[in-house]
């Protein structure tokens, strides 16, 4: 990952100008500089220079970042906050062991069943479950929780995981245009399986044979973003092996966070490897494509239309619009659907506040940030918010429900799939 030197090189670039304060959603929600982008860079620099320790407060500073990277986008000297932060988290794991992130997540989620569904995806890799044998362990999870949580109910996990519904190979419809791998990710695999169906479905509609290897596991983002480099590496290699055993044009991902992890995360992870493993991880990472951008590159072969005209708005997941710079492509796909009108919200690229396990550990902050997003969506008059990340979808749905807002969040691939 990033070395102490790399992290420090980033941190000392900070001039304290504060431009990032204008976009850090956490700062806007909490109004405390210590938990702002500038505060994070500053205090982490303090840690790297040995002026501050990895105290409890420091853990909160590390933990309350969404890693949305909005701050990096406006930073004039170009401080890459995530490098500093990830090194901070990795250092915390080295010094204090892993549990802090998990502990927090557990504590929260056991208290509130709404977070359980989201939690599942993030817990699996932390529990070091093997996604290769679904069923047995996953069934244990709810019972484990229901016991501790005082019987407050089970997470709405899909009754059948995606792999029970989609076969290892899906044939193309019409003229074959190539062979791709499908990386499902935990949400599509266990929670929102319909999005997985739809992504495979669109690829097949578009003439691609879809290979869906069973050996794949979670992308490892929860481990990686918690600073648990060791486990993240293990997971990464496992995924690379699962896909490289076949001849594929690309590996398609429908989840923004997984995409960011497989693309950027793995390539930085590979720097700590050598030889064959390093090459393998780099090769895999280079094959990864986000679903909408892949489809735009290849060009849609079929025309799609909505049965009745509809107004939608599009939310840019942080991990696409920043990490991968995919902003134009989803809009192009939307524009290609007949009967669909896109009305932009005022700040489509502002974080929804989901931020992976962030929502579990800091529900108040997360919901506050989500509320702005929902209001922004409502202001467009659209009843449907389209996006490309199941994590954002869950967050938007949940906050909308709380706020009593009548909006629905859907995955772009679901929309495309249904519009044929």
Q: Which residues bind another protein (CB under 8 A)?
A: 13, 15-19, 21-22, 31-34, 36, 38-39, 42-43, 46, 51-53, 55, 57-58, 61, 74, 76-78
Alpha-carbon 161 to chain mean position: 19
Is residue 361 within the footprint of ligand SF4 (CB under 6 A)? no
Is residue 412 within the footprint of ligand SF4 (CB under 6 A)? no
Instruction: Report DSSP state, residue 305.
Output: E
- Count the residues of the shown chain that bind ligand SF4, applying the rule CB under 6 A: 26
Is residue 8 within the footprint of ligand SF4 (CB under 6 A)? no
Selection from ligand SF4, another protein, none that 65 binds (CB < 5 to 8 A by kind) is: ligand SF4
- Phi/psi for 411 (5° steps) reads -85, 140
Phi-psi sector, 151: left (phi>0), alpha (psi -120 to 50), beta: left
DSSP secondary structure letters along 6-18: HHHHHHTT-----
Sequence-distant (6+) residues with CB within 8 A of 213 are: 168, 181, 242, 243, 245, 246
Of all helices (H) and strands (E), which one includes residue 341?
A: strand 337-342
According to CB under 6 A, which one of 8, 44, 47, 71 is a site residue for ligand SF4?
A: 71
Contact at 8 Å (CB) between 285 and 278?
A: no
What the block records as the tokens of 256 is 């923004």
Cβ proximity to another protein, 32 vs 148, nearer residue: 32
Cβ proximity to ligand SF4, 71 vs 157, nearer residue: 71
Selection from ligand SF4, another protein, none that 51 binds (CB < 5 to 8 A by kind) is: another protein
User: Coil, helix or strand for 170?
Assistant: strand
Span 72-111, contacts to ligand SF4 by CB under 6 A:
75, 77, 79, 81
Least distance CB 371 / ligand SF4 (angstroms)? 16
Is residue 62 within the footprint of ligand SF4 (CB under 6 A)? no
Cβ proximity to another protein, 43 vs 387, nearer residue: 43
179 bridge partner residues: 209
Span 115-134, contacts to ligand SF4 by CB under 6 A:
none
Least distance CB 22 / ligand SF4 (angstroms)? 9
Tokens 């249904």, residue located = 418
Q: CA torsion angle for 141, 142, 145, 150 (degrees, to 10)?
A: -160
Residue (of 345, 270, 285, 271) closest to 314 by Cα position: 345
Least distance CB 81 / ligand SF4 (angstroms)? 5
CA distance 102 to 228: 11
Which range touches ligand SF4 (CB under 6 A), out of 23-31, 288-296, 360-368, 395-403? 23-31
DSSP secondary structure letters along 343-370: ---S-TTS--S-TTTHHHH-HHHHHHHH
Selection from another protein, ligand SF4, none that 24 binds (CB < 5 to 8 A by kind) is: ligand SF4
Cβ proximity to ligand SF4, 216 vs 395, nearer residue: 395
DSSP secondary structure letters along 275-290: HHHHHHHHHHHHHEEE
Selection from another protein, ligand SF4, none that 68 binds (CB < 5 to 8 A by kind) is: ligand SF4
Cβ proximity to another protein, 27 vs 284, nearer residue: 27
Least distance CB 389 / another protein (angstroms)? 27
Least distance CB 88 / another protein (angstroms)? 12
Cβ proximity to another protein, 44 vs 394, nearer residue: 44
Contact at 8 Å (CB) between 390 and 120?
A: no
Of all helices (H) and strands (E), which one includes residue 390?
A: helix 390-403
Selection from ligand SF4, another protein, none that 342 binds (CB < 5 to 8 A by kind) is: none
Is residue 68 within the footprint of ligand SF4 (CB under 6 A)? yes
Span 37-56, contacts to ligand SF4 by CB under 6 A:
37-38, 40-41
Angle between helices 114-126 and 390-403 (to 10 degrees): 160
Question: How many other CB atoms are found less than 10 A from the CB of residue 251?
Answer: 27
Is residue 26 within the footprint of ligand SF4 (CB under 6 A)? yes
R_g of the chain, CA atoms, integer Å:
21
Selection from another protein, ligand SF4, none that 317 binds (CB < 5 to 8 A by kind) is: none
Is residue 17 within the footprint of ligand SF4 (CB under 6 A)? yes
Is residue 70 within the footprint of ligand SF4 (CB under 6 A)? yes
Contact at 8 Å (CB) between 235 and 370?
A: no
Least distance CB 20 / ligand SF4 (angstroms)? 3
User: Coil, helix or strand for 329?
Assistant: helix
Least distance CB 76 / another protein (angstroms)? 4
Q: Which residues bind ligand SF4 (CB under 6 A)?
A: 14-20, 23-26, 37-38, 40-41, 65-71, 75, 77, 79, 81
């Amino acid at each position: 990952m990033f070395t102490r030197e790399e992290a420090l090189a980033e941190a000392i670039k900070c001039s304290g100008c504060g431009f990032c304060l204008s976009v850090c959603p956490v700062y806007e929600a909490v109004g405390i500089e210590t938990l702002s982008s500038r505060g994070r860079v500053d205090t982490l620099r303090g840690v790297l220079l040995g002026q501050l320790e990895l105290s409890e407060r420091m853990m909160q500073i590390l933990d309350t970042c969404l890693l949305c990277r909005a701050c990096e986008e406006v930073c004039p000297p170009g401080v890459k906050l995530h490098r500093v932060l990830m090194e901070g988290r990795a250092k915390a794991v080295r010094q204090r062991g892993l549990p802090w992130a998990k502990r927090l997540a557990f504590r929260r989620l056991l208290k509130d069943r709404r977070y359980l569904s989201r939690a599942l995806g993030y817990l699996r890799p932390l529990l070091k479950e093997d996604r290769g044998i679904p069923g047995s362990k996953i069934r244990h999870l709810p019972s484990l929780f229901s016991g501790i949580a005082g019987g407050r109910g089970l997470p709405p996990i899909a009754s059948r995981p995606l792999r029970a519904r989609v076969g290892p190979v899906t044939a193309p419809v019409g003229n074959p245009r190539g062979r791709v791998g499908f990386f499902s990710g935990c949400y599509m695999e266990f929670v929102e399986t319909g999005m997985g169906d739809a992504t495979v479905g669109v690829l097949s509609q578009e003439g691609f044979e879809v290979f869906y290897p069973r050996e794949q596991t979670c992308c490892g983002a929860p481990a990686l973003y918690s600073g648990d480099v060791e486990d993240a590496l293990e997971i990464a290699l496992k995924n690379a092996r699962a896909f490289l055993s076949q001849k594929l044009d690309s590996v398609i991902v429908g989840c923004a966070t997984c995409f960011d992890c497989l693309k950027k995360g793995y390539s930085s992870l590979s720097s700590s490897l050598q030889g064959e493993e390093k090459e393998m991880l780099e090769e895999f990472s280079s094959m990864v494509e986000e679903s909408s951008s892949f489809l735009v590159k290849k060009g849609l072969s079929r025309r799609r239309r909505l049965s009745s005209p509809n107004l939608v708005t599009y939310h840019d997941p942080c991990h696409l619009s920043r990490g991968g710079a995919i902003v134009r492509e989803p809009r192009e796909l939307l524009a290609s659907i007949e009967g669909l009108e896109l009305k932009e919200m005022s700040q489509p690229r502002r974080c929804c506040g989901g931020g992976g396990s962030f929502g579990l550990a800091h529900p108040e902050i997360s919901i506050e940030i989500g509320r702005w997003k929902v209001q922004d969506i409502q202001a467009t008059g659209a009843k449907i918010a389209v996006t490309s990340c199941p994590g954002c979808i869950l967050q938007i749905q949940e906050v909308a429900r709380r706020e009593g807002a009548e909006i629905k969040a859907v995955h772009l691939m679901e929309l495309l799939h249904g519009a044929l």
